[in-house]
Chains A and B, each alone.
Chain A
Amino acid sequence: MTSVLLLLSPTWLSWKNEFRRGGDRWGRRSFLFALSIGFWIGTFYVIRRVLTYFQSVHELGPALAYQLLLIVLLTFLSMLLFSNLITALSAFFLARDLDLIMSTPLSQDLFYYSRLIITTANSSWMVLFFSLPIFAAYGAVFGGGILFYLWVILCLPLFLIIPASFGVLVTHLFVYFLPAKRVRDILFFVGLFAFIVIYFLFRLSQPERLVRPESFGHFVQFLTAMETPSSPYLPSSWSAEILAGTLFQRSTDQGFYYALMASYALFFPLATSWISSAVYLDGWSKAQESRQGRRKLEWLDRVIFLVTRPFSPVVQAVMVKDIKTFMRDATQWSQVFLLVALVVVYLYNFKVLPLDRSPMPAETIRIVVSFANLALVGFVLSAVAMRFAFPAVSLEGKAFWLLQTAPISLKSLLWSKFWLNLLPLLLIGELLVFASNLMLRVPAWMMMLSLVTVFAMTFGITAICVGVGAIYPRFAYDHVAEISTSFGGAICMIFSIGFIGLTVMVEAWPIYLLASQSLRSGETQTVTPWLIAPSLLTAFALAVVAVVVPIRKALGSLEAMKD
């Protein structure tokens, strides 16, 4: 135990030193702390309102709250699975201190358990952070009392350790068995595996059942289905059973489910430790060999060259370098899997929306949902831009001096980052809004309005992310994900969401008028341009401001670095 703590000591000592010697960072810390508290209070308030509404629904209330709990826990489980796979690969096979640690006389077991703890902590803290206000809201609304919070404290460590050790196990097996010559191939499979698991986990939850009671034939049948987990073999369902037992006074064998969780939480780490001791050294040796060399894909080089051809040679050179670096850095492109999973789940939700069950006319509800979708697409785009556009300047890392000393203006550099990120973001945004509007069967004018608005919004979001990323660059980082979770990341997110909110607000009024018109007549008779044009022009003006201001500020900030 002492040795495991010793192996963890660099991590906590680093935190301690960073905290104590932070100096001028107290302002930032206070801001982030306030932001976190604000987020917690906001989440608690929203979930409490939803649960209070559920509670008011006679008989069905607890069942609905239980289903929501199941979905929340299942979402957490899938997030944990994905992040554990990536974190385990990094902690066990790619970390920079591995050479140092492995050249010391350390037993394999000690190494394994210390890395398992690091993997669990690194991949679970965010889920833990998000889950606490949700559990607090459940406790407050359904009056679980001290016993409920006790169960939460008992269940959470087990709930976190199971996916963590499972992720470590799968990563070990991937690295050992795959005939991969490159770590990126392994990450490809890890990403693919995670995507399939996450997709199936979501399908298992069947959230659409909540809105189709008629498919059950009888209310009692419906109620029974609502009170039963749709995937009884997952730790998320076991945890939900335990917590529901106290929250909704259900006759659940909490002891049995807890024993079930505990047995898996003990078995998985132990089994993984056996496998790790058998395959780790071979796998790690292989992972290092895989760092050598790469396949040269000439056709890809030609495609990159053609795509970047419209730009000036200097900007083109930076763009080609960025694209190639992105494609060769597994820690960056593996995030695309998360993006694909997000898009698939997003579009699927539109497919199963029960619009025909609404008491309002179908056309009205289609317009309203499509309009709300504009904001949602904006949020998705800003989340994606946070991952890819925000770190664009920071990713130059310690090689930034190369660009500083090269005959390239900082303006060209910033614009190259902007265009490079804009094109894929435009593609995603337009695709999302087009596909979801197609599924919603919105009128043509709404389709056009959505496409044009998202087009303008993407320019603004990209510039905000690239610009704020350049104002708060982080050239020294261990992992690319650190860049977006920094102080600058929080600022960027606030500006980005503010911009989306403003854009949606200026279009809200004409949409309200058109939706009201369709509410009265069943359909929108005429769409006069004067009704939409002013709002659309304002949205465009907003986008121009969102492009010009951050890029100009970023330029000033980069210039000031020379001082």
Chain B
Amino acid sequence: MIRIVDLRKQYGRLAAVDGLNIEVSEGEIFGFLGPNGAGKTTTIRVMMGILKATSGQVILGGHDIEREPEQAKAIAGFIPDRPFIYEKLSAKEFLIFIGKLRRMDSARLQRRIAELLEHLELLDWQDELVEGFSHGMKQRLVLCAALVHEPRILVVDEPMVGMDPKGARTLKDLFRSLARAGTAIFLSTHSISVAQEVCHRIGIIQKGHLIASGTMADLHRLTRAQDRNLEDVFLELTRQQDDLAVIERDRQL
């Protein structure tokens, strides 16, 4: 459902993402882990057609994001790390706007809005202006906007930031149920516990390179640490890469 092929994105001389290859199937939740500045958000922005790749391809549901952007975006939903919502619109007005942008017919749109607002406990707030919402409520509204058109692909950047435990639990349950219904989810996160809990496979990116990818078992095998949790595995893998970089630099010197 999602194919990232030899993706490279360069900012001037700095390669933020370099030679990235990832595939995510239908109904799979792929966790995208990495330290700050590793290239996670850049990858996601290229995936959604917000940034242009220097080279390589992103294919969503068989559509190349650069060659067929409208078709590719039509089947995808996106939750950015710092979402923008029109503050002077009400929650319902905002969702109607997004639904119409995605060419949904009115009846279906109204049904979906009611379902989502109910599910994410925003129904009582539907006619209130967004400017009066708390951080968590805004996040839930952005989630509604990403799901309103029932996307086959969901791309999520740091979903749990600022969420209370109840909200976080609702979100994790929602991801699982979406995956069961066949949605491919690409989940970028800092939160190792979230990745460990909900993701079928995990990719670890560091300095623009995918340094490891696979199921939890695969990652344990890689670090030869069967009894350790994902946090230890993550730290071990990123440390190994740092060590390798130091050795390489010393060798060149």
Contact = CB atoms under 8 A, between A and B. Distances in A.
Q: Does A pair with B?
A: yes
Interface of A: 6-7, 9-10, 13-15, 17-18, 21, 96-107, 181, 281-282, 285, 288-289, 292, 476
Contact of B98 (A14, A21, A104, A476): A104
Q: Which 6 A-B pairs have the closest CB atoms?
A: A14-B88, A285-B52, A105-B74, A105-B73, A105-B70, A103-B78
Interface centre among B45, B69, B101 (most CB of A within 10 A): B101
A288 B49 CA distance: 12
B240 to A, nearest CB: 28
A232 to B, nearest CB: 43
Contacts of B76: 103
Nearest to B129: A17
Contacts of B103: 105
B229 interface: no
Interface in B4-37: 11-12
Interface stretch (B89-97, B161-169, B207-215): B89-97
B80 A99 contact: yes
Contacts of B52: 281-282, 285
Main secondary structure of the interface of A (DSSP, over half): helix
B70 A100 contact: no
Nearest to A285: B52
Contacts of B87: 14, 476
Given A100-B83, A107-B70, A13 B93 contact: yes
Nearest to B82: A99
Given A21-B129, A282-B52, A288-B51, A13 B11 contact: no
B12 A181 contact: yes
Contacts of B90: 17
Contacts of A96: 84
A10 B49 CA distance: 22
Contact of B101 (A15, A99, A106): A106
Contacts of B221: none
Nearest to B76: A103
Nearest to A104: B101
B11 A17 contact: no
Interface of B: 11-12, 45, 48-52, 69-74, 76, 78, 80, 83-90, 93-94, 97-98, 100-103, 129
A18 B73 CA distance: 32
A102 B49 contact: yes
A4 to B, nearest CB: 12
Contacts of B74: 105
Contacts of A14: 86-89
Contact of A289 (B11, B49, B98): B11
Contacts of B48: 102-103
Contacts of A10: 86, 89, 94, 97
Contacts of A21: 129
Contacts of B78: 103
Contacts of B86: 10, 13-14, 97
Contacts of B45: 99, 288
7 contacts: A9-B97, A13-B86, A99-B84, A104-B73, A105-B101, A288-B45, A288-B51
Given A103-B48, A104-B102, A289-B11, A17 B70 contact: no
Contacts of A100: 80, 83-85
B51 A285 contact: yes
Nearest to B102: A104
Contacts of A106: 70, 73, 101
B77 to A, nearest CB: 9
Contacts of B97: 6, 9-10, 13
A289 B46 CA distance: 12
Contacts of B102: 104-105
Nearest to A281: B52
A103 B70 contact: no
B50 A99 contact: yes
Nearest to B52: A285
A112 B129 CA distance: 28
B89 to A, nearest CB: 6
A27 B71 CA distance: 50
Contacts of B100: 6
Residue in A6, A103, A106 with the greatest tally of chain B CB atoms within 10 Å: A103
A17 B89 contact: yes
B73 A103 contact: yes
Nearest to B85: A100
B11 A105 contact: no
A285 B83 CA distance: 18
Contacts of B101: 6-7, 101, 104-106
A292 B76 CA distance: 27
A6 B106 CA distance: 13
Nearest to B79: A103
A503 B94 CA distance: 52
A14 B131 CA distance: 11
A281 B45 CA distance: 13
B69 A17 contact: no
Nearest to A18: B88
A103 B50 contact: yes
Given A13-B88, A105-B101, A281-B49, 16 more contacts: A10-B94, A13-B97, A14-B86, A14-B88, A14-B89, A15-B88, A17-B93, A17-B129, A21-B129, A99-B84, A102-B49, A105-B72, A105-B73, A105-B102, A106-B70, A288-B45
A103 B88 contact: no
A96 B85 CA distance: 9
A264 B83 CA distance: 39
A509 to B, nearest CB: 52
B152 to A, nearest CB: 13
Nearest to B101: A104
Nearest to B78: A103
A332 to B, nearest CB: 21
Contacts of B49: 102-103, 281
A151 to B, nearest CB: 37
Contacts of B50: 98-99, 102-103, 288
Residue among A7, A15, A98, A289 with the highest chain B CB neighbour number at 10 A? A289
A96 B48 CA distance: 16
A104 B50 CA distance: 10
Nearest to B74: A105
Contacts of B73: 103-106
A16 B136 CA distance: 26
Nearest to B69: A105
B56 to A, nearest CB: 14
A199 to B, nearest CB: 34
A154 B49 CA distance: 40
Contacts of B88: 13-15, 17-18
Contacts of A107: 70
B172 to A, nearest CB: 23
B61 to A, nearest CB: 12
